[in-house]
Chain A
Amino acid sequence: MYNFDFVKPGSVADAVAVLADDDAQPLSGGQTLIPSMKARLNAPGTLVSLTGIPDLVGVCRESDTLVIGAATTHAQVARDAAGDFPGLAALAGQIGDPAVRNRGTIGGSLANNDPSACYPAAALGTGATIVTDRREIGADDYFQGMFATALEEGEIITSVRFPIPQASAYAKFVQPASRFALTAAFVARYASGVRVAITGASENGVFRWAEAEAALSSNFSADALASLGCSPHEMIADLHGTAAYRAHLVGVMTRRAVTAAG
């Protein structure tokens, strides 16, 4: 890994000021960034740690919304969201392994937008709001393809606002070597309808499965999906699974999520 200057600001304003430098990059839990720096895929001149900012950490309910600070670890979400939003807590508890969950953060995961990461499915599957240092971005506008988001250079996520669903579940077919999702589905039922988000499957990253949403909004049961198939067009194909296999898993995991949500 190339060397860099390390800074750890104590406020969002200070972090944003340092990040105005083109050669500076934010660091949250580092569970993806540090391995990519070791591989020299990433070589910032200055690394700006966001884990020393108290405002960015915590899980807090505001009526029908669960607000999670961007630098909150997966382990803390698994623990502190369990009462208010068990579907989200269960998702957080399936990321990586215990040691990774103690470092990795929700903001880091959403900023990276790995096409096989877990959190993007929850954010898109609930229509969450991504709050940054300068604006609020709806999940439908935020995810813009594999590793691509609506974030501008130097913009940092400060919190994520999740509308708490009536019922929800995340069903993950784990890729056991990486512990990312080979394919996974997040299903959330609201009074206004059902949302379904799929991660791990598409070359374009996380996406909503519109046909399943329509079917589940009129009948929230796995049977409602029996005749639905997902097209393998633009699905990820690699040594772990073909595009057709992943398309098949989209249906399987969505049905499992619906059953688990009850």
Chain B
Amino acid sequence: MSKVTMTVNGRERSAEVEGRTLLSGFLREGLELTGTHVGCDTSQCGACVVLVNGQAIKSCTAFAHDLDGAEVTTIEGVANADGSLGRIQQAFKDYHGLQCGFCTPGMVMSTAALLAENPKPSEEEVRHYLEGNICRCTGYQNIVRAVMAASGQEAGALAAE
């Protein structure tokens, strides 16, 4: 066990972890930030996506020690300062972009990464960017609508699948 320190959601946080501790474990067990979900644990589903130094990664497929010193944003860090839902969260709520909610933290974090590099994505770009985030409830239509709305674009006109 040795100490790993990261800036998580703007605060410096440390925990004693093993070599094999994944970033997802550092966040969930080390820091008790359980908003980051672990779905498949094989880097397929994307429920565990967080931002590391501004880039979306799968926190189940990176070692905490490898990210010592990194700046991390998790789902706990995306609400507004007054505690109200952030823009992307609000859009997922408004457009019913979730049912059970298990995949939602990863969807929201991937969306944050997408909109940071492409503020007005096309529907096709949204679908392409989210292909590493799997939802087993919604069929994606409302997720894509929510992302379009979060980017300030018309969300109602998407073709039905």
* Number of A-B contacts defined by CB within 8 Å: 75
Interface pair A34/B56, CB less than 8 Å apart: no
Q: Which of A47-62 contact B (CB under 8 A)?
A: 47, 49, 51
CB of B63 within 8 A of chain A?
Answer: yes
Asked whether any CB of chain B lies closer than 8 Å to the CB of A21, the reply is no
Q: With a 10 A CB-CB cut-off, give which of B41, B57, B68 has the most chain A CB atoms.
A: B57
Contact of B57 among A6, A37, A49, A99 (CB under 8 A): A99
Interface size on A, residues (CB 8 A): 27
Per the 8 Å Cβ criterion, residues 43-60 of B in contact with A are: 43-44, 46, 49, 52, 55-58
Whole-angstrom distance from the CB of A115 to the nearest CB of chain B?
Answer: 19
Q: Kindly state whether residue B154 has any CB partner on chain A within 8 Å.
A: no
A123 to B: closest C-beta gap in Å: 23
Q: Closest approach, in angstroms, between the C-beta of A51 and any C-beta of chain B?
A: 6
Which B120-161 residues sit within 8 Å CB-CB of chain A?
129, 131-133
Residues on A with beta carbons closer than 8 Å to the beta carbon of B132: 96-100, 179
Is A3 an interface residue, CB under 8 A from the partner? yes
Find out whether the CB atom of A6 lies under 8 angstroms from the CB atom of B63.
Answer: yes
In the bound assembly, the distance between CA atoms of A8 and B2 in angstroms comes to: 14
Taken together as a complex, chains A and B put the C-alpha atoms of A8 and B4 apart, in Å, by: 13
Q: Is B113 an interface residue (CB 8 A)?
A: yes
**A165 to B129 Cα, complex, angstroms:** 29
The residues of A that contact B52 with a CB separation of less than 8 Å are: 102
> How far is A97 from B134 in the complex, measured between Cα atoms in Å?
11
Cβ contact within 8 Å between B42 and A38: yes
Question: Residue-by-residue, is B30-44 near A (CB-CB < 8 Å gives 1, otherwise 0)?
Answer: 000000000001111
Q: Within the assembled complex, what's the spacing in Å between the Cα atoms of A5 and B18?
A: 8
Taking each of B19, B44, B46, B113, which has the highest tally of chain A beta carbons within 10 Å of its own beta carbon? B19
A103 at the interface (CB under 8 A from B): yes
Q: Does A1 contact B (CB under 8 A)?
A: yes
**B61 contacts partner chain A, Cβ-Cβ < 8 Å:** yes
- CB-nearest residue of chain B to A5: B19
Given A35-B43, A98-B110, A102-B56, is A6 in contact with B19 using a C-beta cutoff of 8 Å? yes
Q: Which of A190-247 contact B (CB under 8 A)?
A: none
CB-defined contacts of A38 to chain B, threshold 8 Å: 41-42
Residues of B within 8 A of A75 (CB): 55
Answer whether residue B20 sits at the interface, using C-beta atoms and an 8 A cutoff.
yes
Roughly how many angstroms separate A99 CA and B50 CA in the complex, as a whole number? Answer: 9
Decide yes or no whether B16 CB sits under 8 A from chain A: no
B58: A residues at CB distance < 8 A: 99-100, 103
User: Which residues of chain B are within 8 angstroms of A179 by Cβ–Cβ distance?
Assistant: 131-132
Bound: A75/B113 CA distance, A: 13
Distance between Cα atoms of A8 and B63 in the complex (Å):
11
Residue of A nearest to B55 (CB): A102
Report whether B66 and A99 are in contact in the complex, using a CB–CB cutoff of 8 Å. no
B52 to chain A: closest residue by CB: A102
Q: Which of A2, A6, A35, A98 has the most CB of B within 10 A?
A: A98
A34 contacts B19, CB within 8 Å?
no
Sample of 9 more A-B contacts, CB < 8 Å, known A6-B19, A99-B43:
A6-B66, A8-B65, A30-B62, A34-B22, A98-B56, A99-B57, A100-B43, A100-B61, A179-B132
B residues apposed to A, CB below 8 Å: 18-20, 22, 41-44, 46, 49, 52, 55-58, 61-63, 65-66, 68, 110, 113-114, 129, 131-133
8 interchain residue pairs of minimum CB distance: A97-B132, A6-B19, A6-B65, A102-B55, A99-B56, A3-B20, A99-B58, A4-B19
Q: What are 27 sample pairs from A and B whose C-beta atoms fall under 8 A apart?
A: A2-B20, A3-B18, A5-B19, A6-B63, A6-B65, A8-B66, A30-B61, A30-B63, A31-B43, A34-B43, A34-B61, A34-B62, A37-B20, A38-B41, A47-B63, A49-B63, A49-B66, A51-B66, A98-B113, A98-B132, A99-B58, A100-B43, A100-B132, A103-B57, A103-B58, A103-B61, A103-B62
